[in-house]
Structure 1
Amino acid sequence: MMSRIAYVNGRYVPHFEASVHVEDRGFQFADGVYEVVAVYKGQLIDEQGHLDRLERSLDELRIAMPLARAALAQILRRMVRLNLVREGLVYFQVTRGVAPRDFPFPFAAAPTLVITARNKKFPGRDVKAVTVITTPDQRWARRDIKTVALLPATLAKQKAKEAGAFEAWQVDADGYVTEGASSNAWIVTKDNVIVTRQADHNILRGITRMAIIEFAKENGFKFEERAFSVEEAQNAREAFVSSASTFVMPVWKIDNVAISNGEIGPVGKTLRDAYFDAMDQLANDARTRSTD
């Protein structure tokens, strides 16, 4: 079996040898950002959206892009090939770089770029619903920046795991759901309206979320971007979460309150199928180009 390959600052190295300096600011201050891109049939999914968000996150933290965008895209593809990933995830992280430990930005540090890729089997079109719990949202005020400061999310995920749940929905001080620890949160009301929190500083602008909004419009669903309470979610017709690795994942229990029989609902099914149709089309188009 071939060993995994990692990319660290211009070098492709065996995964178990990959390392960064002890004074890298990502390690010292969580001073960096990251992205995770799904790979399906060997193709990067929503690649441009993830690169757009990476550039935005870096700009918000005043960190320079480590490479030209086109060069980074080529490395991502090479990492997919080197690690023989047909279905899985590519993770890439950029930090402010290595500098003596001090809070102000270093004057001349070069950004650190780390990329890994691994195989991961995704649930197929026909997926069983999952459960979620709720927990107070303890994160900082700029959740729209995809930083590596993930301790609050880690605590929420651990709480979900100990409760036997798939995800934790984080709830603000007013009792409204912001998003999951690693996903966006959605409901479908009794009137068949799809609802998800508005994309402001309180949530991450999910790339999968943006695709789902387009699929919802294409399929003629009514759609609202607004906050919803835990109680409204527990009385919804459907609920689901979305992320780069779950696509559209149906939810059937919220804090042990069942909202369905454990099967994916008609709205969630339509959106999940639309996502898989788009991924299959991307893979087919790539295969056609390679044979031209």
Structure 2
Amino acid sequence: MTRTVYLNGTYLPETEARVSIFDRGFLMADGVYEVTSVLGGRLIDFSGHLIRLQRSLDELGISNPLTSDEWLAAHRELVAVNKITDGMVYLQVTRGNPGDRDFAWGEGVAPTVVLFTQDKPGLADNPQALTGLRVISIPDIRWGRRDIKTVQLLYPSMAKMMAKKAGVDDAWFVEDGNVTEGTSNNVYIVKGNKIITRPLSNDILHGITRAAVLRFAKEAQFEIEERLFTVEEAKAADEAFTTSASAFVMPVVEIDGAAIGTGKPGRVAPRLREIYLDEMRKAAI
């Protein structure tokens, strides 16, 4: 089945969508993106993604091409026309096509806007939520503004392939001895009733799922400690987990070959996953 996609105000078959070779997203990775999950045909935490989109655009000095209502209408139209029950809507905004390649950019160039869906039946029923993820640690050599959700994803992609080659599920980045985040997720360790995660800064993405999960965790009487932690601390933790918009809350049971806790998902991550999915389904639009 050919998907219908959105390109600069027009809905068209994916086979007919065209972006200029001079678009700065293609030439310079000069653009940002968001991914919103869809469960039961409805959008999960949509307003949070729009708020972060605006922040990313502001940080790069790119004008927001659509209003909040227009973004919502485009998402809903693509979900409907592509018959998405469970899946994702990807949006990307680049600085656009200035007409030629140049490191500097001029004024008055219209941003390029792309949206498409991904059909993921049973998105919330990932069997790995029952078994947990295994990860490796690797040096974090990304640029210094990881808080901006740009399309500069080469190193995270390479890290995913490093993990695959090592026979595990994912990789955690480490900088100055401390864990920053996963390739496409925020990371946490658990000690007793305390959830430990790196504080927000330019060093990590300000996760929309992160914010919701920490809010729910506090309501569930967990103690939250936002601080740096090492790989060795992770190995000695009772549990570990990740959060992301498409995988929600996922237990992590091994890092660099060492079992975390019992080597199986503990009580905290599964409970937070259950709470998150329940609350997000109720609030979906």
Q: TM-score, normalised by structure 2?
A: 0.95
Corresponding residue number in structure 2 for 1:167: 170
Query: Mapping of 1:134-173 within 5 angstroms?
Result: 134-172=137-175
TM-superposition CA deviations, 1:152-211 (whole Å, max 9, x none): 111111101111221110000x2100000100011002x321011101000000000000
Contact kept in structure 2, 1:128 and 1:262, CA below 8 Å: no
1:19 and 1:262 map into 2 onto residues whose CA distance is 47
Corresponding residue number in structure 1 for 2:41: 42
Corresponding residue number in structure 1 for 2:256: 255
Structure 1 position 118, deviation (Å): 1.4
Is 2:67 aligned against 1:64? no
Structure 1 position 261, deviation (Å): 4.1
1:25 and 1:103 map into 2 onto residues whose CA distance is 9
Structure 1 position 103, deviation (Å): 1.1
Structure 1 position 136, deviation (Å): 0.4
Corresponding residue number in structure 1 for 2:107: 107
1:201 and 1:272 map into 2 onto residues whose CA distance is 26
Identify the match of residue 184 of structure 1 among 161, 183, 186: 186
Corresponding residue number in structure 2 for 1:266: 267
1:207 and 1:147 map into 2 onto residues whose CA distance is 15
Q: SS at 1:127's partner residue?
A: helix
Contact kept in structure 1, 2:44 and 2:281, CA below 8 Å: no
Is 2:27 aligned against 1:25? no
Amino acid at match of 1:103: F
Count, aligned residues: 281
TM-superposition CA deviations, 1:86-128 (whole Å, max 9, x none): 1001000000000121111222210000000011132428622
Unaligned runs of 5+ in 1: 287-292
Q: SS at 2:125's partner residue?
A: coil
Amino acid at match of 1:171: V
Corresponding residue number in structure 1 for 2:212: 211
Corresponding residue number in structure 2 for 1:118: 118
1:158 and 1:133 map into 2 onto residues whose CA distance is 11
Corresponding residue number in structure 2 for 1:220: 221
Runs of 4+ in 1 over 2 A off after TM superposition: 123-127, 260-264
Contact kept in structure 1, 2:237 and 2:261, CA below 8 Å: no
1:88 and 1:128 map into 2 onto residues whose CA distance is 22
Corresponding residue number in structure 2 for 1:230: 231
1:127 and 1:41 map into 2 onto residues whose CA distance is 21
Over aligned residue pairs, what C-alpha RMSD do you find?
A: 1.3
Structure 1 position 262, deviation (Å): 4.6
Q: SS at 2:177's partner residue?
A: coil
Q: SS at 2:123's partner residue?
A: coil
Amino acid at match of 2:232: E
2:167 and 2:76 map into 1 onto residues whose CA distance is 36
Unaligned runs of 5+ in 2: none
Contact kept in structure 1, 2:135 and 2:171, CA below 8 Å: yes
